[in-house]
Amino acid sequence: MTKGTPTRMIVMLLLVALVFGGIYGFQLFRNKMIDKAIRGHGMPPQTISTTVVEPSDWQPKIDAIGTLRAVQSTQLTTEVSGLIKAIHFKSGATVKAGQVLLELNADPLKAQLPQLQANVALAEQNLKRDRAQLKIQAVSQAVIDGDEATLKSSQAQLDAQNALIAQKTLRAPFSGTLGIRQIDLGQFLAAGTAVVSLQHLDPMYLDFKIPQSELHLIQVGDPLSVQTNAVPGTTFNGKISAIEPQVDTTTRNLTVRAEIANPDGKLLPGVFATASLSQGAPESFLTLPTTAVAYNPYGSTVFIVVDKGKNAEGKPQLIAEQRFVTTGLTRGDQTAILSGLKAGETVVTAGQIKLRNGVPVIINNQIEPANNPHPEVKDE
């Protein structure tokens, strides 16, 4: 070993220590910068829009979209097959219950009626004759019993034949409005083939769903108003006629049925309509635009703006602070805040995606989000 070897080793150890020390120091510096960035220190201010949360009066109200359906609705068909002999209706006509709509060829069945009627008449005569003979003990009771059974059998055969003939005639099961005819004269109609639809249009049903949280706001008999773009500018009045006695476990919604007067027949089955129900006295809630609230699995949050005074340059220091809130009902573009905020606090309405706790902000309210409690849909 040479004399300079220990010196070289010491130099190498010092170089290694210097390299690792530099790496460790850089890592510490980097971690501090990241930590400062997370806390918002040293980050450039983020531009946001804000609003001041204020209380406003809310009328408890339910708005729900549902589907109209007829009180009675069916697709008319025949029970038996046959050749169409006569059609007694026109498409779109109004008919009464029991009115004859269609006749199939029943001539072969009707041709058998005289024979069956003769059998009944003969059985009646035999029974009458034998009853007279029984009074003078000329026949036994067993003969009378046989005559009665024969009469009942003959009558049953006649009734069955009349029932078969009646099946060849299609009648309206209830009063209503017919749809478009699906058959033609002379056509062979198979059993179950659609002939025409029949709808009873006054009154109408409106089926809609509400969340379980609004169940306490409604009950059978409550009045409501209905509007649909199928009949623009018209409000129809009705009342709740039934409430489904169970909640859908998938959606946690409840089905409600309302009965709507429709004397002019303007409402049609299958049309979408909006039902509006108002209940109870007005209540006061803190109100925010819906865009201000972030809905998350762990809870709803908002960002508020906190004034930290002025910095060394004399400029105001505004930072963002996240808050958990409890939301209530919604109306139009607005959401009610039940807890987590106080009246007069400034809440971020746009730009939240860029924010974390402590991030400096600059307010620019030139463009404000929608905040209308009763927005109207405009047709473009």
Q: What is the rounded distance in angstroms from the CA atom of residue 146 to the CA atom of residue 298?
A: 85
Q: What is the rounded distance in angstroms from the CA atom of residue 220 to the CA atom of residue 209?
A: 14
Angle between helices 113-135 and 141-166 in degrees, nearest 10: 160
In degrees and rounded to multiples of 5, residue 170 shows phi and psi of -100, 125
Q: Pairing mode, if any, of strands 236-243 and 294-296?
A: unpaired
The predicted structure's pLDDT at residue 307? 84
Which amino acid, 64? A
Instruction: Give the CATH number of domain 40-57+283-363.
Output: 2.40.420.20
Q: Cβ(331)–Cβ(58) under 8 Å?
A: yes
As given in the structure block, the two tokens for residue 320 are: 């963002």
As given in the structure block, the two tokens for residue 352 are: 């939240």
Instruction: Give the CATH number of domain 62-70+200-278.
Output: 2.40.30.170
* pTM for the structure as a whole: 0.59
The predicted structure's pLDDT at residue 43? 67
Which run of H or of E encompasses 19? helix 5-39
Task: Kindly report the CATH class assigned to 106-167.
Answer: mainly alpha
Residue ranges of domains in the chain: 40-57+283-363, 62-70+200-278, 106-167
- What does the angle CA 285 – CA 288 – CA 293 come to, to the nearest 5 degrees? 120
DSSP-assigned letters across all residues of 22-38:
HHHHHHHHHHHHHHHHH
Paired with 58 in beta bridges are 283
Residues in the chain: 380
Q: Show pLDDT as tens, one digit a residue, over the chain (380 residues).
A: 455 566 777 777 777 667 666 665 665 565 555 455 545 445 678 888 888 888 888 777 788 889 999 999 989 998 899 999 999 999 989 999 999 999 999 889 889 999 999 998 998 898 888 888 888 888 788 888 888 899 899 999 999 999 998 889 999 999 999 999 998 898 999 998 899 999 999 889 999 998 887 787 788 888 888 988 888 888 899 999 999 888 888 888 889 999 999 888 888 998 899 888 877 667 788 888 888 888 888 888 999 888 877 766 667 788 888 999 988 877 777 888 888 888 889 899 888 888 888 888 888 888 777 766 666 655 44
